[in-house]
Structure 1
Amino acid sequence: MGCSNMKNAMIAFLAPLPSILFYLSFINNSTFPSLTIISTWHPLVLVNILFFFNVNLLFWLIAQIQSSHWMIDPYWTVIPVMLIHYYSSHPLSNYDTWRSKIVIFLTWVWSIRLFHNYFRREKWQWGSREDWRFTNMSQQYGKQWWWASFLSIYLPHQLLLIGLSLPMYVIHSVNQPLNIWDLVAAVVCISGIVIAYIADTQLYNFVMSRNNDDKGITILEIGLWYYSRHPNYLGEQLWWWGLVVFGWNLGHGWTSIGALSNTMCLGYVTKLVEQRMLKQEKRAEAYRMYQNTTSVWIPCFNFKSASSDSQFKIKDA
């Protein structure tokens, strides 16, 4: 296990090397003069080309060799950080310095939180398993999964991550001074990060306590999970919609297309997660009751009586 973990960690660190070289060409043209012309392409064009070859194609090839599509999950936490630094350092960038610093800082905080939660859940192992949804899809596609995985996993991730990061591009292409709406956007982003962190920590602590002392408790309704069945998803949505407020404030409301698409995808993921819960015999009845008394995402304070505080809930992160 240790050898495999080290190997996967090394692969993960080496995989983005081509993109890192391009980034260095932005901040120091003399280092890689042959890349200077390419680095002056439109930021969105260049980013999509890099994403296609360095993430989609390379990660897919690695997955074929390892028979596991694990690497796209941890990189979900890293790619937005890479994207925002691309946009801020691109030769064609033009932006308000303070707005850029604020959003870059918030993006790093978001990334560290999500990165920590992912590896905490995976017991700090690199590539120990792939997302259960990918495993289910591989069973559905059978022998065709080797090529269908490229269309089902990697291309959608490119569209989604580039779409979600569109406000980051606008922030670094429009130079306007800060105003009150930037404060609103920052508050929404911070609220999302905090809510997601608290929800994920409450879930993690319960899963660990249940694994260490299983008393047959299947449903947990304390903390944020008392008011929402998926408060971690709510926090994640607030983060991305907070970025949209930054873009909308700069006159580019069209950047909401990424957050809107992600909300729709997360709605579908929520449905899959709940269907999975209802297939577990020991939890099905309790979870149906939980569905009847608790809001899906948006917190609701009037569904349940105080007596339900004694109930408990568990779900997969």
Structure 2
Amino acid sequence: METTKKSNQNKLINAGLAIVAPLPSILFYLAFLHNYTNPNHCLSSLWSWCYNHPVLLTFVLFFLNINVLFWTIAQLQSSHWMIHPYWPAVPIMIVYYYATHPTGNYNPWRSKMVIILTSIWSLRLSHNYFRRENWQWGSKEDWRFTDLGHQYGANWWWISFFTIYFSQQIFLMGVTLPYYIIHTIEAPWSIWDFVATAMCLTGIIVAYFADTQLHEFRTMNAKLEASGKSVIPILNAHLWQYSRHPNYFGEQLWWWGLGIFAWSLGQGWAFIGAFVNTLCLAYVTTLVEERMLKQPFRAEVYREYQKTTPVWIPWFKSSSLKETKDKTI
């Protein structure tokens, strides 16, 4: 009873922290919007800097509010859970910063479309996170962070700042560069905006169904295990029979589609963020597959799955899985 009460208290604390955590940067930015036109304000030089450096302003706010604050909270709680649910929230804040910054100059229809798409993407990813965590705040940290903690031991407390927080800042600032370009170049809506919109929506839909199918698979296995029955080694149905990681494929479509918005405005260099995202997902894919192969009850079936099913881009199997079909779903 006492353990349950303490657990509920921790959940309430984590929920409160998650709500309050982004307020420093939000309140600061609102103060900037309210005061930047007042030359007699005591912080006029600071407001002037914020006005002239929108990208650096975003970088500094992210560094102080996400990196420093979230890392500090993680040290106090001995858990790096908070960064994960904020992965879908940060792009929403960044796109609104650029859309409302006083130096913005953009096509309002393109801006609205990108904000709507980002909101849908964020809701999809947030829903998947909380569904996976049984609708709890901070129940556990990402297993990759836990593995890194074991790897680095006593030095993890300071290494975690760079491997989890600062690295994700560089990453997120890169993939969200199209937001800045979209809100600094005014150009008519073009056919490429339709292409980018379709690609982004396709990525969101593919990722949603892939994650839902994976969630249902895990739920079914949990019920089988609870009833004392053998679990099914791998998911090899629906989207997962055409790709080993359709959720990652959908996520890549989203970021590359966002890059097309910037490319259509003559700023193809913004694809660097999507490219780095692909490299990161390649590394994550390797970690996930290594983990699968370390589990004896699914290693053999998964090796066969690797031989016949594309890693990302959905396609038909190179050969049948007749021998292992009864072991998969």
TM-score, normalised relative to structure 1? 0.95
Give 2:328's aligned residue: 312
Q: Are the aligned partners of 1:94 and 1:173 in contact in 2 as well (CA < 8 Å)?
A: yes
SS at match of 1:234: helix
Q: Are the aligned partners of 1:63 and 1:69 in contact in 2 as well (CA < 8 Å)?
A: yes
Work out whether 1:241 is the aligned partner of 2:256.
yes
Shift of residue 310 of structure 1?
5.1
SS at match of 1:37: helix
Give 1:182's aligned residue: 193
Give 1:9's aligned residue: 15
Whichever residue aligns with residue 215 of structure 2, its letter is Y
Gaps in structure 2 of 5+ consecutive residues: 1-6
Q: Are the aligned partners of 1:220 and 1:311 in contact in 2 as well (CA < 8 Å)?
A: no
Whichever residue aligns with residue 20 of structure 2, its letter is L
Instruction: Write out per-residue CA displacement over residues 233-261 of structure 1, whole angstroms, 9 at most, x where no aligned residue.
Output: 00000000000000000011111111111
Instruction: Write out per-residue CA displacement over residues 76-106 of structure 1, whole angstroms, 9 at most, x where no aligned residue.
Output: 0100000000000001111000000000000
CA distance in 2, matches of 1:270, 1:30: 45
Give 1:88's aligned residue: 99
CA distance in 2, matches of 1:61, 1:208: 34
Question: Mean Cα displacement is larger for which, 299-308 or 214-223?
Answer: 299-308
Distance 1:201-1:31 versus aligned 2 partners, 3 A rule: farther
Shift of residue 27 of structure 1?
4.9
SS at match of 2:291: helix
Shift of residue 312 of structure 1?
2.2
Shift of residue 22 of structure 1?
2.9
Give 2:313's aligned residue: 298
SS at match of 2:214: helix
Match of 2:120 among 109, 122, 133: 109
SS at match of 1:177: coil
Match of 2:171 among 136, 160, 176: 160
CA distance in 1, matches of 2:155, 2:212: 38
Taking only aligned residues, the RMSD between alpha carbons, in angstroms, comes to 1.7
Whichever residue aligns with residue 127 of structure 1, its letter is G
Whichever residue aligns with residue 79 of structure 2, its letter is S
CA distance in 2, matches of 1:187, 1:56: 33
CA distance in 1, matches of 2:168, 2:133: 21
Q: Are the aligned partners of 2:121 and 2:204 in contact in 1 as well (CA < 8 Å)?
A: yes
Match of 1:137 among 139, 148, 154: 148
Distance 1:278-1:149 versus aligned 2 partners, 3 A rule: same
Instruction: Write out per-residue CA displacement over residues 168-200 of structure 1, whole angstroms, 9 at most, x where no aligned residue.
Output: 110001000100000000000000000000000
Work out whether 1:44 is the aligned partner of 2:89.
no
SS at match of 2:67: helix
Question: Equivalent residues in 2 for 1:249-288 (5 A)?
Answer: 249-288=264-303
Whichever residue aligns with residue 17 of structure 2, its letter is I
Give 2:24's aligned residue: 18
Whichever residue aligns with residue 18 of structure 2, its letter is A
Give 1:223's aligned residue: 238
Q: Are the aligned partners of 1:25 and 1:39 in contact in 2 as well (CA < 8 Å)?
A: no
Aligned length: 313
CA distance in 2, matches of 1:144, 1:78: 29
Q: Are the aligned partners of 1:24 and 1:31 in contact in 2 as well (CA < 8 Å)?
A: no
Identical aligned pairs, as a percentage?
Answer: 56
CA distance in 2, matches of 1:175, 1:108: 22
Work out whether 1:60 is the aligned partner of 2:60.
no
Q: Are the aligned partners of 1:228 and 1:298 in contact in 2 as well (CA < 8 Å)?
A: yes
Q: Are the aligned partners of 1:176 and 1:250 in contact in 2 as well (CA < 8 Å)?
A: yes
Question: Equivalent residues in 2 for 1:185-224 (5 A)?
Answer: 185-214=196-225, 215-216=229-230, 217-224=232-239
Whichever residue aligns with residue 312 of structure 1, its letter is T
TM-score, normalised relative to structure 2? 0.91
Q: Are the aligned partners of 2:200 and 2:257 in contact in 1 as well (CA < 8 Å)?
A: yes
Shift of residue 39 of structure 1?
3.3
Match of 2:137 among 122, 126, 135: 126
Shift of residue 206 of structure 1?
1.1
SS at match of 2:266: coil
CA distance in 1, matches of 2:173, 2:58: 8
Q: Are the aligned partners of 2:310 and 2:317 in contact in 1 as well (CA < 8 Å)?
A: no
Whichever residue aligns with residue 318 of structure 2, its letter is F
- Say which one has the larger Rg: 2
Whichever residue aligns with residue 179 of structure 2, its letter is M
Distance 1:310-1:104 versus aligned 2 partners, 3 A rule: farther
Q: Are the aligned partners of 2:309 and 2:317 in contact in 1 as well (CA < 8 Å)?
A: no
Shift of residue 19 of structure 1?
1.2
